[in-house]
Structure 1
Amino acid sequence: MAFYAQARLTYGIATGGHFYNRPVCYHYVALCRYHTTKKCFVLSVGEVGDEVRYLRRKTMYSTKSEDQSSTDHVIRGQNGDQSQSSPEKEPLRTDRNEDDQSSEEFEGASYGWWLFRPKFLKFLNSPKGFLVTYCVTNLFMNTMADGIISTTITTIEKRFSLSSSQTGTIPGSFDFSCAAAAILLSSLVKSRRMKLRFISIGVALIGFGAMLYGMPHFLVGPHVYGALKADVCVPQGNSTESESQVTIGIGAAPLLTFGLDLLEKSAPPNQGGLYLGIMQISKGLAIAVGFLLGGQLLGFYIDVDKADPVPPAGGVSDPRWLGAWWLGFFIMGAALLFMSVIYGGFTQNFFESSVEEIHDTTSMTSSRSRMVLTAIRDISGEVLALGCNVCLMCSIFAFLFNGMVFAGITTYAIKSLEVQFGLPPGRASFMIAVLGAILSGVLMKRWRVGVKGALKMASVFAGVTVMFSTFVLIRCPNMDFAGVTVPYHNRLAPPATPVVVGSAILSNCNRNCTCSTYYNPVCGRNGMTYFSPCHAGCVEHDLQTQTYSTCLCVGSDLAPAVFSSNSTDPDVMPGYCESGCGLLPLMLALNFGWATSLSAVAPIILFVLLRSVEERQRSMALGMTNLVGRLLGTIPGPIMFGALVDRSCLLWGQTCGERGACLLYDTANMSSYLFSATFTCNFLALGCMLVALYGWERKRRDERAVKVKPRPLRLSIVMDMKEVDSTE
């Protein structure tokens, strides 16, 4: 049943089937809904005198006819006086059969799907239950989107012969679709019930998109690599990935926009920052889990699902090895589909205990069609109003720059470790710190900081991030690669880089060998790495030990090497030559400090975004953040970092006569390029936080100045009254 009440602020208590008014606040009118437990929940509140409409679905008053019971009731009031249009206080129906259906959706212990509502899942329908569900979903989504994709990006490049600039568009398509969907949904969907339903549907779309991401593996044939036995000197005379990321981005929009809003609203007083910090912890943990899980899955051969796969003889350490990059997407897709079912069991009533609920005036006051038209008509005005909020816009741009560097670094961090320190993809997994998210959340809860304190804290962490960004400069020297970084023994200088596989890396010792373009690097006894045994000029191959001998190009720097066929020592071994660089621990230590400070900034920015605007503007503010942060940050971030990685390429592969994936990078150029981009983004984020702090302090000074103005006006009125009295 539904009923209406009006006083200064009317709060209803139903007892014995009657309703009584009790004023608790001035100048407000409340719209309440009857509950079988004899309580009235405040659904929406409006100024007295404003028109409050609600379409009743049932007959409320026993004296009303069926025609009257299906119409709208309007409550008006002036300065707390009884409205003439208010219905008379009459006994309400307390028929249990009529009340059950309408009250079931507001029952605090209710959780489930349709008629199936198990009691052992009651705990989920609470703010803490929603927090746990959101964090688990965030864990699964970011494990896939940030961790597994970053781990498998190099494998995807080799499998489909893509450059880093091309693979950078894969996460970009996710961000573009997410931003477009977020700004549309935030302006059209206002009801909390609909927000929960959209989140459930969106999570299901993420799961479907994750499975779609792995489908190209089943649409192509088995992986073909250069055979070791055939690769000796014989003298003579697409993409489904982008489509899946669009699907994932559309599905993630409700979760990232509505989920954060509902999470902050449901948090107990003074714990909103802690809830956002816990959410950010799940994201940081997801990236670490994604790196570890992706590294383990790459230990399985790419064609593990096919009958009698033939992996390279060198195993995981063989440069020709490609891991099962597709397997993690199906695992995460199944987990996200399960989480979409969990979201379907939530009801909106666990928000009722929130203090902020009494300020929500939009969800129940207009019809669906009118809401859509009004949203479309007023969206430009809302965006303009938010655009004038200096604190909000600077926080959005700080989110933009942090998102740009975070998306770029996480996408190509694994590749950087492979290039700089010669680690195979399965081992090049490092932990993104979650300590910063824990630290910032705990500090905000302990000190109960407001927007000003949060901005100061974010500025400190942003400054630390700038200092620790020097970790990108740590590098190892380039490997000695014959014909690219160092000349063959009978060539004065290597060719100008970058070069494409072909005649550019040939020399007199292998020019007549008709070598193929299959990449099969081997390490020579002289410490040089060769493109293949054929390029090393090797004539003999031992199938049992997988070594090569009688290699014409392996020898002194002055003359070709001449070895007898009976030589017991091999000339080359499969794989790269070891670099012997011991700077990896130092780089990981500095990277830990950088990741810790960067992860500490993210929940603080979200806290400032939600608290620097009015509650009715929060969904739109989050939508703008997703739109601006993704269109200008996380979309161009991977593309920009991928282009910088491509600029440091020394040797390009060749597939079907066209340039393929990069096979060898210049470590010095890669470090310089990545440091320039990382330092610039971190420094700009720090500047935005400082400007946001200035804008917030200026806004508070202006508000305090406005509050002082009515006093002289009241004094002038008194003086006018005295003048009137004197004339009489």
Structure 2
Amino acid sequence: MDSSSRENMQLFCKTSVHPVERPSCKSEYPSSSEKQPCCGELKVFLGALSFVYFAKALAEGYLKSTITQIERRFDIPSSLVGVIDGSFEIGNLLVITFVSYFGARLHRPKLIGGGCLVMGVGTVLVAVPQFFMERYRYETYSFSNSTFNLSPCLSASNPELPISVMEKSQSQKHNECETDASSSMWVYVFLGNLLRGIGESPIQPLGIAYLDDFASEDSAAFYIGCVQTVAIIGPIFGFLLGSLCAKLYVDIGFVSLDHITITPKDPQWVGAWWLGYIIAGVLSLLAAVPFWCLPKSLPRPRSREGSSSSSEKSKFIMNDDTDFQASQGEKTKIMEMVKEFLPSLRSLLGNPVYFLYLCASTVQFNSLFGMVTYKAKYIEQQYGQSSSKANFVIGLINIPAVALGIFSGGIIMKKFRVGVCGAAKLYLGSAVFGYLLFLSLFSLGCENSDVAGLTVSYEGTKPVSYHERALFSDCNSRCKCSETKWDPMCGENGITYASACFAGCQISTRTGKTTIFYNCTCVGTSTPQSGNSSGMGGRCHKDNGCPQMFLYFIVISVITSYTLSLGGIPGYILLLRCIKPQLKSFALGIYTLAIRVLAGIPAPVYFGVLIDTSCLQWGFKPCGSRGSCRLYDSNAFRHIYLGLTVILGTMSIFLSIAVLLTLKKNCVSKHRSFRTKRERTMNKSSTKVKKENCATSDHSLQPSYWPGKETQL
């Protein structure tokens, strides 16, 4: 074809208004100036989306690792920490529905890039209170001057002792009350996490749907599995970063560490919780860059060009910008999308498979969110481990098992070409076996530490009941001790005392960061034979087989995490395949919304409220208001934490069974409908053939009949 003919045909293609003529013209007579999309842009998007998932997952994992650090730094209970943790989901709640619905019709990569910028700013904002608060103060009887001997047990009979050390003047209390107001700066942590949730809202629904739109059917599950696997690697680095920062003192760089008398094993220790948020925020800002260079749409694979499984084939997305603008204005387009919102929502919630799966996932994520949020705290309180070690174990051992489980689920779906019913079975099976293994953790707990007046009597002979708990005893009755002070001391008898004052200690000396107390009347009372009445600052370590129990806990926890995560990708595929193709992004958005609102927000809160009920000793702020918990009942903590997780998991299993039964019922009804339709088609075809045969038979008789008739006439 000559150049003039080609130009005429291109002009015809541009001016043609027929919706079918134009694509055919483009395919047969491509313009020399038309920009051909790069075949590797999907992989660029996959890499960029994976990095975003890594950045946001790192920040989320780091937040979980700093739960106890934030609780101690701002001196707040676990229930309030749960509210801070749930603020991320509250941010999602504000915009996720509109972003997932309207975002599918707009430039999805740029929306994801803008979300990354907002998420990065919010992450950095979480660390801001550290730079405006007063330096962290912990309760202690020790002084930096090692030559100064302080008697913890101050009494009226010893007037020469510095009473002002124990009893603060009114001016000191007033100043402390003013500085106590800085603890309300946890609101900035709440707002920063809220902003982080707003920025994260377009990443999951738009990113996953974008991959599923332009990837082949066989590769879609594998790509989603890769993204989810990278998303699990993020918390690994998040918890490892949390472990590293927990070893650093909270005010590192602001105070001299030589004057810090506590160690990371001390229950009052607070690590540099703010440092990781700055690192995670910078990563989120960098992750936004690639998305501004990606196109709105990518070339579709040949295997899916004629398929209707992609949301790009929907009535909203299938037309290009030129065609749509030629027929309607942008204002009309928005109005149509608004009108379709409620019908689309009714269509989703009216789908029984989607609705049941949504309920099952919501209940299961209640279980998982509550468990993960307080897992580090559970390890600290149950097995007596430091915050740094608890985060290290979770990040290096537990989370890789989750990543391996998610990746294995994607491999299984791709290799065995598992269908929708098979995905539902795999999702159900992983939940059943996972929670059965989880039940064994009830037997892997440690008994309460021996704490005088709280878990055992001062004589150390028997456990005390709730009504018998009292920190005061005859051995420390002459000491002027404060019930609100918590500076534990480990006696030579293996019993922990709330403070050296409650142990009745008369003399204290400090060497380096180690404080030793002597002439402790309460310690001597419980050990009358040896008469040893000394002790050392800090809680006594659990030695009643607890280290061995901790190893068993790690093994069972790893296997359970792998088993539960194995159903992650099958669940995603089930979600994507059980709804209409044009509602894919919207379905993911509603799914994310339900998880955030009904699981992410309430689960950490009511888990924290129930965990607070197991507190044995509360701390108090300088003004007298209640602060964070100093000591938990290990048995009650274990039963609440594990029991609530198992109950919610069992409920999700029953709902998953309902999903599978509904799927099978739909498959049977569709099969019967198909057979009935096929039989009707075959009957119609048979009837048509018979009529044709009859017509052929009559026609063959016409030559002999009609001449005779004509003869008779």
Q: Under a length normalisation based on structure 2, what TM-score does the superposition of the two structures give?
A: 0.81
Amino acid at match of 2:111: F
> Where do residues 537-556 of structure 1 align in structure 2 (5 Å cutoff)?
537-544=504-511, 545-556=514-525
The match for 2:113 is: 200
Q: Equivalent residue of 1:709, what SS?
A: helix
| Displacement of 1:601 | 1.5
Deviations along 1:328-378, whole A, 9 cap, x unmatched? 111010011000112222223434336256724313446432233223222
Q: Equivalent residue of 1:660, what SS?
A: strand
Equivalent-residue separation in structure 1 for 2:533 and 2:523 (angstroms): 11
Question: Does residue 428 of the first structure (1) align with residue 395 of the second (2)?
Answer: no
Q: Under a length normalisation based on structure 1, what TM-score does the superposition of the two structures give?
A: 0.79
Question: Does residue 165 of the first structure (1) align with residue 79 of the second (2)?
Answer: yes
| Displacement of 1:461 | 1.0
Gap change, CA 1:637 and 1:17, over 3 Å in 2: farther
CA contact (8 A) 2:494 2:540 kept: yes
CA contact (8 A) 1:312 1:321 kept: no
Question: Does residue 590 of the first structure (1) align with residue 549 of the second (2)?
Answer: no
CA contact (8 A) 1:547 1:570 kept: no
> Where do residues 418-567 of structure 1 align in structure 2 (5 Å cutoff)?
418-429=380-391, 430=394, 431-432=398-399, 433=401, 434-473=403-442, 474-489=444-459, 494=464, 496=466, 504-516=470-482, 517-544=484-511, 545-557=514-526
The match for 1:75 is: 18
Equivalent-residue separation in structure 1 for 2:30 and 2:414 (angstroms): 46
The match for 1:411 is: 373
Amino acid at match of 2:595: G
Deviations along 1:251-286, whole A, 9 cap, x unmatched? 111001101111222333312222222222223222
| Displacement of 1:396 | 1.6
Amino acid at match of 2:535: V
Deviations along 1:399-437, whole A, 9 cap, x unmatched? 212221221111100000001110010011222222211
Equivalent-residue separation in structure 2 for 1:14 and 1:130 (angstroms): 40
Equivalent-residue separation in structure 2 for 1:87 and 1:346 (angstroms): 26
CA contact (8 A) 1:299 1:323 kept: yes
The match for 2:330 is: 368
CA contact (8 A) 1:301 1:311 kept: no
Deviations along 1:297-344, whole A, 9 cap, x unmatched? 111110013143556324222332210011111101001100011222
> Where do residues 265-304 of structure 1 align in structure 2 (5 Å cutoff)?
265-304=213-252
Gap change, CA 1:493 and 1:688, over 3 Å in 2: closer
Amino acid at match of 2:490: C
Question: Does residue 396 of the first structure (1) align with residue 358 of the second (2)?
Answer: yes
Amino acid at match of 1:485: T
Gap change, CA 1:293 and 1:471, over 3 Å in 2: farther
CA contact (8 A) 1:61 1:92 kept: no
Question: Does residue 178 of the first structure (1) align with residue 92 of the second (2)?
Answer: yes
The match for 2:164 is: none
CA contact (8 A) 1:523 1:529 kept: yes
Equivalent-residue separation in structure 2 for 1:493 and 1:477 (angstroms): 11
CA contact (8 A) 1:281 1:437 kept: yes
Q: Equivalent residue of 2:620, what SS?
A: strand
The match for 2:611 is: 645
Gap change, CA 1:176 and 1:19, over 3 Å in 2: farther
Gap change, CA 1:628 and 1:513, over 3 Å in 2: same
Deviations along 1:94-118, whole A, 9 cap, x unmatched? 6x7xx4xxx45x5317xxxxxxxxx
CA contact (8 A) 2:103 2:206 kept: no
CA contact (8 A) 2:475 2:522 kept: yes
Amino acid at match of 2:577: R
Question: Does residue 340 of the first structure (1) align with residue 288 of the second (2)?
Answer: yes
Gap change, CA 1:483 and 1:367, over 3 Å in 2: farther
Deviations along 1:505-549, whole A, 9 cap, x unmatched? 222333443334342211001111011222212121112252111
> Where do residues 38-437 of structure 1 align in structure 2 (5 Å cutoff)?
74-75=17-18, 99=33, 103-104=34-35, 107-108=37-38, 125-145=40-60, 147-191=61-105, 194-229=107-142, 232-236=152-156, 238-309=186-257, 312-353=260-301, 355=304, 359-363=313-317, 364=320, 365=324, 367-429=329-391, 430=394, 431-432=398-399, 433=401, 434-437=403-406
Where is the helix percentage greater, Structure 1 or Structure 2?
2
Q: CA RMSD in A?
A: 3.4
Deviations along 1:147-191, whole A, 9 cap, x unmatched? 211211111111111111111112212112213422111222233
Deviations along 1:119-149, whole A, 9 cap, x unmatched? xxxxxx522222222222212211211x211
Gap change, CA 1:133 and 1:497, over 3 Å in 2: farther
Gap change, CA 1:453 and 1:493, over 3 Å in 2: closer
The match for 2:657 is: 690
Gap change, CA 1:509 and 1:367, over 3 Å in 2: farther
Gap change, CA 1:367 and 1:408, over 3 Å in 2: farther
Unmatched 5+ residue regions in structure 2? 144-149, 158-185, 703-713
Q: Equivalent residue of 1:108, what SS?
A: coil
Q: Equivalent residue of 1:361, what SS?
A: coil
Amino acid at match of 2:473: S
CA contact (8 A) 1:225 1:320 kept: yes
Amino acid at match of 1:448: R
| Displacement of 1:674 | 1.9
CA contact (8 A) 1:486 1:494 kept: yes
CA contact (8 A) 2:489 2:538 kept: yes
Equivalent-residue separation in structure 1 for 2:339 and 2:496 (angstroms): 65
Deviations along 1:214-273, whole A, 9 cap, x unmatched? 112122110011234267222126311221121111111100110111122233331222
Match of 2:630 among 663, 668, 687: 663
The match for 1:3 is: none
Amino acid at match of 1:149: L
Equivalent-residue separation in structure 2 for 1:154 and 1:215 (angstroms): 18
The match for 2:583 is: 617
Question: Does residue 703 of the first structure (1) align with residue 670 of the second (2)?
Answer: yes
Number of equivalent positions: 630
Amino acid at match of 1:242: F
Equivalent-residue separation in structure 2 for 1:235 and 1:490 (angstroms): 25
| Displacement of 1:715 | 5.4
| Displacement of 1:716 | 6.1
Which segment drifts farther, 368-377 or 577-586? Answer: 368-377
Equivalent-residue separation in structure 2 for 1:462 and 1:352 (angstroms): 35
Gap change, CA 1:588 and 1:611, over 3 Å in 2: same
Equivalent-residue separation in structure 2 for 1:491 and 1:235 (angstroms): 28
Equivalent-residue separation in structure 1 for 2:261 and 2:671 (angstroms): 75
CA contact (8 A) 2:114 2:288 kept: yes
Gap change, CA 1:377 and 1:722, over 3 Å in 2: same
Identity over aligned residues, as a percent?
26
CA contact (8 A) 2:450 2:494 kept: yes
Equivalent-residue separation in structure 2 for 1:353 and 1:76 (angstroms): 21
Q: Which of the pair has the greater relative contact order for Cα pairs under 8 Å at 6+ separation? A: 2
Equivalent-residue separation in structure 1 for 2:71 and 2:372 (angstroms): 16
Equivalent-residue separation in structure 1 for 2:203 and 2:30 (angstroms): 40
| Displacement of 1:440 | 1.0
Question: Does residue 712 of the first structure (1) align with residue 666 of the second (2)?
Answer: no
Equivalent-residue separation in structure 2 for 1:252 and 1:335 (angstroms): 14
Which segment drifts farther, 484-493 or 375-384? Answer: 484-493
Unmatched 5+ residue regions in structure 1? 1-12, 22-33, 35-59, 110-124, 564-568
The match for 1:115 is: none
| Displacement of 1:200 | 0.4
